[in-house]
Structure 1
């Protein structure tokens, strides 16, 4: 009986094995047929098809994206560092020993003025931060700028402003150092991005990163202010060579449906870098500004294993077609549609950059304390990043930009009206309301700026993508040249910065009506691809986009299978 059962079980196992072998032979055959079909399709397909089929976010892509995110922190540290290493230090005219002994001076540091009298004499000295007057029997015998220089409430080496006496008539030079850096960034955005399109992304990225480390460290050893300005110029230029090329490399590593992931992550990395800047400068507040600069330079280190894509590689390995020659800047001048898109996107970059920077450097007016105002202004970017990450894949690009600028523009209008109209300013709790409106404006500006880094590269084909992003970034540097002087404007006309920024933001929704939607579509490879796409009617364009999304979703499921 046992033998019969064993024999029966053996037959059942053999039948099961046969059926299993048959099924196992069918599955690989079907899978091989599907892979062969997909492989034939990939030979004539786009780069997105290859990335989708291979798997959009494997360990290699994750490591590369992480390494390419590091320059975001570095950029945050150097972009706004001037407000710490070049902070304003309370100062007064040095004592006038020619007329009065220093022992006879009443010189309280808490006061901006002092008055001193010579014993058994009627000589008196009346001094302010930048002006001094000497009288004898009420007769003026001297009046003018501080002849003996200045004394400061902190050691002179705490800020390059006090070390080089950039006060009074030369006070604007401290802001000019940031303007010079913005000029360098503007030229760097133009030069290095054009080089990246012609020479390749990786060579420009590597060389720029190494030079950035050298220049950032050399800045701490500047013997005079002129040398310091030269290093700030080079720092701004090299920063663009690192940031823009690294961003393009990230965008090209990821297929269309998942292209919003780099902005999602960078939205948390950037404010983290700004908070790190505040923490470093707070911990180094008792140190020389040169030591603080060396600490910041230490973050400009280079770490990169390999980049799979260089300029033109996608055309050589994916498509059998002959690659189109790089049109360069001529594509922006010959094609009216591309020129119009470029002009509009450059204006949006200008408006967002100006709004973002001014809201940070004037954040001390929110609470009266710089560190607290700065922290609140940066912390509000974190909920903006969470909001962006949760809905970026569900909302179209133009809708994002329109909504963000409406929020920023309306909030700034309310903050200006409620904070500067005498009748409104007297209402109880109005200070808190103005603070909330200002932070809400910063929220909208942050969201709008974040989506621009995703939207702009999607507008241009591969042959001019880095140049297009570089042009937009170049124009935005004009904001960096003007923004440092907003502190002076805010001191004399508190309503002016908010009024200007609100007007700039409210114009953006009108201009967006002329811009195309890029959500979910492939990156164009050539100018001809872009022209063909722009010539399509919106309805047909939408149908193709929906069809493309269906194909890519199916491809993801098949890869998972």
Structure 2
């Protein structure tokens, strides 16, 4: 018999449910999101578009056109962004003006220093303009690869080691990116950054969901949203005050926040749920005793509850030797083998497979909607630092709304509300943008775009919060990783909405609105997880479809009927 999520919750409740130890552990893990977020969004600043135009001939020489005789008195030149436009009088008939266009054969001139951005550094403009967005697309592709591969290591070897190893790789690749001497090197490093960045994000998300007992999990979403919002907003002064420096200096500055890894290595403990689910009872007991001291709870009471939890699986204590548990009388008994699962095990089980497919769609839609709104909205124009700051601020209202709704109306209704808000906001903003270009209309577009961003941000946050509650412990990171892959597919499709809008103006709104509407319908088929323990085993997943007890015992802060 395997230890259940309810049993782990019993220990966490005795520890106080949400005591100092849990708060500190969650914050220690959450703060590493600064490093992942900074690298994820660095392209906004190091890849910004620098105003440019074609360069004039060097050393004051004249422009030459093959087969045409030009003199300083019979032609004029206009240096455009991507072409050199020449107007000249034909030598055969001076009354006829002829126009000729040349590419930027003498290079580019930028209004800022050459190394202010990778765009200017590697001349990613005009016919090479698509290459300027490619590194970010490669990073999203890398995230998909990382989300597919790295969760295995988190579920097999632990949340902490996976996070720290990914963290070290993020630092190394981030610093290496700053010294890229070619565009190809830069692009490859961005792909690798996406892979290891997902190792951090997924282990962080799973760890965070496992810190608290069931009834306090919504606090995870609030703390996650606040930390993410502060992380996004804090990039603004980095970008603004270093805007006159080279992109290499900015990239190194973004890497500086990764020095936090030293604190994480020293003070962060492994997830208690993972330790218990994988039979590492000695380490789990050590962390439980530490938590009891931090939370000022009677250690003996906590240890007794911990032993009670373990005894439901075996009458042994937590110590083991040579593959055997040491019994109280000194006898030994073989340690029960802990089951290991893969993504294939998810798809073999009908209910879990259905949940997973729906979650894939929800994640893809949330990502597609977010990036689609970003690329189709014309309301956020002007200073890139102000625009970025406004977008980052939208993380806070979505987090507040989530906190107020998630336990009151439930996970499923919260998801549906955010998807509906996102879809409606995008549709209305797009309709107004297409039908009117007045000043009043632009204000309305801005308002509804912000509403849509709140919905998109809330949908993402709700998906991150809800998804780990669906999968059992030894499949939690694998399941979350598979849904993250679906999100990357949506993220890569989102930018194409701008191209679609050029041919069918109502196309993006119809697609995004329809996708969000379908998402709200599919949510009906998912189980409600409000007030239920995180499933430890495959069997626990079936319990998600059963109604929870209505009586809440304030003495143990748990669902008492569940523990009887």
TM range (shorter): 0.7 to 0.9
Match of 1:378 in 2: 392
Q: Give the 3 Å change call, closer, same or farther, for CA 45–365 of structure 1 in structure 2.
A: closer
Q: Give the 3 Å change call, closer, same or farther, for CA 152–498 of structure 1 in structure 2.
A: farther
Deviates more, 1:173-182 or 1:502-511: 502-511
Match of 2:470 in 1: 459
Counterparts of 1:277 and 1:57, CA distance in 2: 30
Matched, 1:233 2:196: no
Which SS does the other structure have where 1:125 is aligned? strand
Counterparts of 2:169 and 2:222, CA distance in 1: 29
Encode CA deviations 1:49-82: one digit per residue, 9 max, x unaligned: 1111222222222211111111222232222221
For normalisation by structure 1, the TM-score amounts to 0.81
Deviates more, 1:334-343 or 1:498-507: 498-507
Matched, 1:75 2:45: no
What displacement does 1:372 show? 2.9
Match of 2:531 in 1: 520
Counterparts of 1:184 and 1:397, CA distance in 2: 30
Pairing of 1:28-107 with structure 2 (within 5 A): 46-96=7-57, 101=62
> Which of residues 471, 492, 495 in structure 1 aligns to 2:482?
471
> Which of residues 223, 232, 239 in structure 2 aligns to 1:265?
223
Deviates more, 1:336-345 or 1:154-163: 336-345
Q: Give the 3 Å change call, closer, same or farther, for CA 410–142 of structure 1 in structure 2.
A: closer
Note if contact 1:349-1:476 (Cα within 8 Å) is conserved in structure 2.
Answer: yes
Counterparts of 1:277 and 1:79, CA distance in 2: 11
Counterparts of 2:5 and 2:496, CA distance in 1: 54
Counterparts of 2:53 and 2:472, CA distance in 1: 58
Q: Give the 3 Å change call, closer, same or farther, for CA 210–315 of structure 1 in structure 2.
A: closer
Counterparts of 2:505 and 2:5, CA distance in 1: 60
Note if contact 1:179-1:482 (Cα within 8 Å) is conserved in structure 2.
Answer: no
Q: Give the 3 Å change call, closer, same or farther, for CA 197–186 of structure 1 in structure 2.
A: same
Note if contact 1:361-1:484 (Cα within 8 Å) is conserved in structure 2.
Answer: yes
Q: Give the 3 Å change call, closer, same or farther, for CA 312–94 of structure 1 in structure 2.
A: same
Encode CA deviations 1:114-143: one digit per residue, 9 max, x unaligned: xxx976532343442112344552486964
Note if contact 2:56-2:79 (Cα within 8 Å) is conserved in structure 1.
Answer: no
Note if contact 1:209-1:242 (Cα within 8 Å) is conserved in structure 2.
Answer: yes
Match of 1:556 in 2: 557
Note if contact 2:5-2:534 (Cα within 8 Å) is conserved in structure 1.
Answer: no
Q: Give the 3 Å change call, closer, same or farther, for CA 154–498 of structure 1 in structure 2.
A: farther
For normalisation by structure 2, the TM-score amounts to 0.80
Pairing of 1:75-474 with structure 2 (within 5 A): 75-96=36-57, 101=62, 121-134=73-86, 136-138=88-90, 143-301=101-259, 302=261, 303-304=263-264, 305=267, 306-309=269-272, 311-314=274-277, 316=279, 317=281, 318-319=309-310, 320-321=312-313, 322=336, 324-360=338-374, 365-422=379-436, 425-426=437-438, 429-474=440-485
Match of 1:546 in 2: 549
> Which of residues 517, 536, 543 in structure 2 aligns to 1:533?
543
Counterparts of 2:252 and 2:5, CA distance in 1: 51
Deviates more, 1:350-359 or 1:509-518: 350-359
Q: Give the 3 Å change call, closer, same or farther, for CA 95–496 of structure 1 in structure 2.
A: farther
Encode CA deviations 1:89-127: one digit per residue, 9 max, x unaligned: 11111113599549xxxxxxxxxxxxxx97653234344
Q: Give the 3 Å change call, closer, same or farther, for CA 368–45 of structure 1 in structure 2.
A: closer
Counterparts of 2:356 and 2:394, CA distance in 1: 30
Structure 2, gaps ≥5 residues long: 64-68, 91-96, 282-308, 314-335
What displacement does 1:310 show? 6.9
Note if contact 2:8-2:273 (Cα within 8 Å) is conserved in structure 1.
Answer: no
Q: Give the 3 Å change call, closer, same or farther, for CA 98–293 of structure 1 in structure 2.
A: closer
Structure 1, gaps ≥5 residues long: 1-41, 103-116
How many residue pairs get aligned? The number is: 491
